[in-house]
Amino acid sequence: MNSLPADLRWRVPLALIVIGLSCWYTFPFEKRINLGLDLQGGMHLVLKVDTTQVPTEARNTDVTAVALEVIRNRVDQFGVREPLIQRQGTDHILVQLPGVTDRERALKLIGKTALLKFQLVSESQRLLERALDDDVPKGYELVEDEDGTPLLLEDEGTLTGAILADAWVDAGDFGLPEVSFRLNREGAKAFGRLTGSHINRRLAIVLDGKVQSAPVVQSRITDAGRISGRFTREEAHDLAIVLRAGALPAPIIIEEERTVGPTLGKDSIRAGLLATGVGAALIVVFMLAYYHLAGVIAVTALTLNLLLIMGGLGYFQATLTLPGIAGMILTLGMAVDANVLIYERMREELKSGRPLSLAIAAGYEKALSAIVDSNLTTLIAAFFLYWFGTGPIRGFATTLGIGITASMFTAIFVTRIVFDVLLGWGQLKQLRMLQLIRGTQIDFIKQRRFCYALSFLVIAIGIGAFLMRGDDRYGIDFTGGLLQEYRFSSATTTEQIRVTLAKVGLKDTVIQQFGSPTEWLIRTSDDTDGEIQQTVSRTREAILSDYDQAAPELVRLERVGPTVGAILRQKAWLAIAWSMVGILLYVAIRFKHFDFGMAGVIALVHDVVVAVGSLCVLGRQIDLVVVAALMTIAGFSINDTIVIYDRVRENLRLHRKLSLTDAINLSVNETLGRTLLTSLTVIFEVLALYFFGGEVLKDFSLCLLIGFISGVYSTVYIASALVITWRRFFQPRQA
């Protein structure tokens, strides 16, 4: 029996430590892993603090910081579990409220300025009449009380909500809810002076410019008071919260909102788990059938890979989103690539007559550079996607990055330990593997002109469709607008919904079936806060009125302001562009030839353009999730290309008399089996996403499917051929 390698003494403990830490940061799952709002339901808001409404003399303090603290206090008192409230830039605030689906109540709580004023009501009928004639005297303000009666309020002596120490809900007359308040020390003195010197005068209690009540001052007040009005108990409760938390220093503008109902969140989890299970099962069956014992070791590594991903999410306190689940599924598919690279190298070494132990060692050694290079380029794409992305897209990038790192560890480190242990125990005598694709001798370079023409035609059609669709090619992420998803208990039609919405003046809407005939998307292009609020209310009222028996449910709402949409679109293209630059520089430096880097980037641009153009031809829209798919395509495409480039470099070193053309043809043929096997496993995963991942990921998976198929084609016929073409044009002596 062979003795175990000495380096196992540190490799095995290290692997066990990593596995142990992954378990620690994964379980218990519900405490360690944060679910995104798209999985558990809740609200995602991007708020802009309108500092233009703040007087110049008051801008010396940080207005956004003050607003953030006020909002945090309100949310904390509202009782939201694990909210996320953080500053973005100079005047934006990100708010995430898990589990909150009563959007109107939440928006009022967060967005209400809550500027409370105590103002004396003028007793001059003459000044009131003058004000009613559109000539409001200086130092006065014309308002209406809750009954619509005009009141003229005096600015002099006005007190604000800063004098309050506490506020709470009480039962008022006839048991109706009202808000009681207690004054702080300074407030008691000021309120005592105001009320004591104006007994028998009316004192208006004004909240955000609206008179809540205007009682007559009966006596001097120095301790407490109450605000009565036509409140529901929830409204009184929320009013007490905002009064305790204090007024916002400036108005708040909602520039982005995404609300997901709990039902849709549960459906997304169910769909994500189903897609993961189906995709994983396909990979397991394939690896076991094709690689036998080596396949068992690879499947074990993939299982561990999944554990490491979850442990990484727990360690970094990252959020698992629906696109994140998609990233996890893709990572498992792409992780197979490293195992396939190693196993195919082992096959070659065994064919050359090497003993099993040396063949295994050579397989790992010779596959290492290709594995590292291909995964690092995908990490570059994930980095820029995270840098420029927001919300669920960052979740996708995080999962992808952790998954790639984990796959390198399991494929290179863990599986090698298993092989060494089996060899040392004498339990591994041979490696049996199927081989569907045997030594091909196809002249791929000879076909380059035909392939160039074919690619040019496909790209031209795609670009034409992209240009012809105009702004319709983009989803609301990039154009702004309002998207509502309604779910009914029974089927309906586009025309029926259109007639319903027309009754309330919503004629210019885009109505789209979303999956089944019971789920519908309603999209409008309203771009102002007031219009959007009215649109949501009118839509809900109309649908509830006409479809009451079908139990309509608003399961998702997304609204993006036009300014934010333009910024998101710019960031998306910047992420793609910077990824291309990063990959170009890495490949050029790694292979010491600019032409390799340029050819590889042109090939991945080819795949991205083909995917975008195909979506436009099929009438699909480009949004943030599709951009994540495009970045994945870029990483996958260059991944395949680098494997071939790595083999070209090796063959030129081994066969010095080979021309570059012959070396490329030889390399493509030698790696063809690996290219097709890896692509098939990833495509299996994408098909599982497409059929079982739910409608939200339909365009994402369709884009990936097109891009991956294009990636196989460009890897074999375009990327390597471009190196030859480049050198014949720019370096004729080397061609």
Cα gap 67→56, rounded to integer Å: 17
Contacts of 281 (CB under 8 A, 6+ apart): none
DSSP-assigned letters across all residues of 76-139: HHHT-SS-EEEEETTTEEEEEEET---HHHHHHHHH----EEEEEBP--HHHHHHHHTT-PPTT
CATH number for region 116-247: 3.30.1360.200
What are the tokens at 86? 């953080």
| Mean pLDDT confidence for 627-650 | 86
Can you give the pLDDT at residue 363? Answer: 94
Quickly list DSSP for 530-593.
Answer: HHHHHHHHHHHHHHHHH-GGG--EEEEEEEE-HHHHHHHHHHHHHHHHHHHHHHHHHHHHHHT-
Domain with CATH 1.20.1640.10 in the chain: 262-429+440-470+566-730
In the structure, what pLDDT confidence band is assigned to residue 480 with cuts at 50, 70 and 90?
Answer: confident
Q: Please tell me the predicted confidence (pLDDT) of residue 284.
A: 92
d(CA 721, CA 162): 73
DSSP state letter for 217: P
pTM for this entry: 0.83
CATH 3.30.1360.200 residue window(s) in the chain: 116-247
- CA–CA dist 366, 359 (Å, integer): 10
Over residues 296-322, mean pLDDT: 92
Here the contacts of 449-452 (C-beta below 8 Å, separation 24 or greater) are: 451/713, 451/717, 451/718, 451/721, 452/718, 452/721
Give the pLDDT confidence of 16-58 residue by residue, as tens digits: 999 999 999 999 988 888 888 888 889 999 999 988 877 766 5
**Are the beta carbons of 262 and 99 closer than 8 angstroms?**
yes
Q: What is the pLDDT of residues 202-254, one digit of tens each?
A: 999 998 888 988 989 999 998 888 888 888 899 899 989 999 988 888 889 88
Q: What is the pLDDT of residue 1?
A: 46
Which ranges in the chain are annotated with CATH 3.30.70.3400? 42-104, 482-560
Return the CATH number of 262-429+440-470+566-730, one of 3.40.50.10090, 1.20.1640.10, 3.40.710.10, 3.90.660.10.
1.20.1640.10
Q: Which helix (H) or strand (E) holds 636?
A: helix 624-654
State yes or no: pLDDT of 192 exceeds 90. yes
pLDDT surpasses 70 at 71? yes
Q: Minimal CA–CA distance to 616: which of 510, 460, 473, 456?
A: 473
pLDDT of residue 734: 53
Contacts 24+ apart (CB under 8 A), 586-595: 586/376, 586/377, 586/380, 587/373, 587/377, 587/638, 587/642, 587/645, 590/373, 591/645, 591/649, 595/723, 595/726, 595/727, 595/730, 595/731
Grade residue 530 by pLDDT with cuts at 50, 70 and 90.
Answer: low
Which pLDDT tens digit goes with each residue over 329-380?
778 877 888 899 899 999 999 999 999 999 999 999 999 988 888 888 888 8
The answer to whether the CB of 335 falls within 8 A of the CB of 285 is no
Q: What is the DSSP secondary structure assignment for residue 503, as one 8-state letter?
A: T
Greatest mean pLDDT range, 74-78, 118-122, 426-430, 601-605: 118-122
Cα gap 86→46, rounded to integer Å: 10
- Please provide the CATH number assigned to the domain covering 482-560: 3.30.70.3400
Q: What is the CATH number of domain 42-104?
A: 3.30.70.3400
